[in-house]
Amino acid sequence: SQQGEEDPQALSIQEGENATMNCSYKTSINNLQWYRQNSGRGLVHLILIRSNEREKHSGRLRVTLDTSKKSSSLLITASRAADTASYFCATKAAGNKLTFGGGTRVLVKP
């Protein structure tokens, strides 16, 4: 079973708009990570947020983590066509494997 569940499953936006996707998980974690995958290729690591952090930024990406609600969100600001991809959250508990959610498919229309 998957630890993280992304919402929505799919998202379609215009270039320049912001895209927000959410991830919920079930058990305690050490950190939560977001990855991007383009069209059935390998995953690219975007950002890692530790359980004692609440918010993190990287370029146009903003990630929040609420451990009390066991949820995280990924915001992509000023989206570009090149942001079209699937986005996955992954959770890591101590000594355990990295567990991925089902992903959010994002389509950015020019």
Partner 1 sequence: KAGVTQTPRYLIKTRGQQVTLSCSPISGHRSVSWYQQTPGQGLQFLFEYFSETQRNKGNFPGRFSGRQFSNSRSEMNVSTLELGDSALYLCASTMGSEDTQYFGPGTRLTVL
| Binding of residue 78 to partner 1 (CB under 8 A) | no
What HEC string does the chain produce? Answer: CCCCEEECCEEEEECCCCEEEEEECCCCCCEEEEEEECCCCCEEEEEEEECCCCEEEECCEEEEEECCCCEEEEEECCCCHHHCEEEEEEEECCCCCEEECCCEEEEEEC
Determine the interface stretch with partner 1 among 15-23, 58-66, 73-81, 95-103 (rule: CB under 8 A): 95-103
| Binding of residue 100 to partner 1 (CB under 8 A) | yes
Determine the interface stretch with partner 1 among 7-15, 31-39, 62-70, 76-84 (rule: CB under 8 A): 31-39
| Binding of residue 96 to partner 1 (CB under 8 A) | yes
| Chain contacts with partner 1 (rule: CB under 8 A) | 2, 30-31, 33, 35, 40-45, 48, 88, 92, 96-103
